[in-house]
Amino acid sequence: MLEALDALMQTRFRLEDYAWAREIADALLDRFEDVQGGGFFFTSHDHEALIHRPKPGHDNATPSGNGIAASALIALGHVAGEMRYVDAAARAVRLFASQIADAPRGFASLIGALDALASPPSVVLITGEAARTAQWHATLAAPLRAGVRIYDVGGLSLPSELRKGEPTAEVEAWVCRGMTCLPPITRIDDVERELAPVR
């Protein structure tokens, strides 16, 4: 659900979806994370007592819950500037490191999370007048950009962790890598230049 909300917010950003994503991430950490050992249990801490509480990392017919949880937490952590989400994801990946090294083909989800930890995603927040931001969003989102997440927040009144500064133009973009953001960019050509892959 957390991963799906991130995909939805990149298509149409709503504050309700963002708040729900934060609630899910917090519940994931509070109710499912093994803080000492790393990773996430398949059942919550308040679940009935079991003989064994699985904490699967291996992909099967469906991707690993730990891999998807780690990837989704990394994505949200960089959007929200919340390192505790990223740190929890790192603990999950670290837990399965030896298994990944032994049989990498079975851990594609966790390898994706490992890649996102090693090369944090670029996050683009487009702010301003809604019609103009929609044009920028359509242009920037048209090509497939690996490791780039683009959110059109328009003229919404954003929570403090999403506000990067006071608006200075009709439309502008904030490009952030990891937890560091560039100054606001007011020309779409300059945004595309920043997002261009390094050759």
Kindly state whether residues 128 and 63 are assigned to the same domain. Answer: no
Residue 173, SS3 per DSSP: strand
Kindly state whether residues 71 and 156 are assigned to the same domain. Answer: no
Kindly state whether residues 40 and 81 are assigned to the same domain. Answer: yes
Kindly state whether residues 94 and 6 are assigned to the same domain. Answer: yes
For residue 198, what pLDDT is reported? 65
Q: Is 184 in contact with 165 (CB distance < 8 Å)?
A: yes
As given in the structure block, the two tokens for residue 151 are 């959110």
As given in the structure block, the two tokens for residue 28 are 């994931």
For residue 45, what pLDDT is reported? 67
Kindly state whether residues 34 and 59 are assigned to the same domain. Answer: yes
pLDDT tens string for the chain (199 positions)? 999 999 999 999 999 999 999 999 999 999 999 988 999 988 776 777 777 777 888 999 989 999 999 999 999 999 999 999 999 999 999 999 999 999 999 999 999 999 999 999 999 999 999 999 999 999 999 988 888 999 999 988 888 888 877 777 789 999 999 888 899 999 999 999 999 876 5
| The domain boundary residue, chosen from 118, 140, 173 | 118
Kindly state whether residues 134 and 186 are assigned to the same domain. Answer: yes
For residue 83, what pLDDT is reported? 95
Distance CA(72)–CA(150), nearest Å, equals: 15
| The domain boundary residue, chosen from 118, 149, 165 | 118
Kindly state whether residues 42 and 84 are assigned to the same domain. Answer: yes
Query: How many domains is the chain built from?
Result: 2
For residue 20, what pLDDT is reported? 97
Of 52, 15, 47, give the one whose Cα is nearest residue 32: 47
pTM beyond 0.85: yes
| The domain boundary residue, chosen from 86, 118, 150 | 118
Which residues constitute the domain of residue 142? 122-195
Kindly state whether residues 127 and 171 are assigned to the same domain. Answer: yes
Q: Which amino acid is at 100?
A: I
Kindly state whether residues 64 and 102 are assigned to the same domain. Answer: yes
Kindly state whether residues 32 and 130 are assigned to the same domain. Answer: no
Q: Is 130 in contact with 108 (CB distance < 8 Å)?
A: no
Kindly state whether residues 134 and 100 are assigned to the same domain. Answer: no
Kindly state whether residues 20 and 100 are assigned to the same domain. Answer: yes
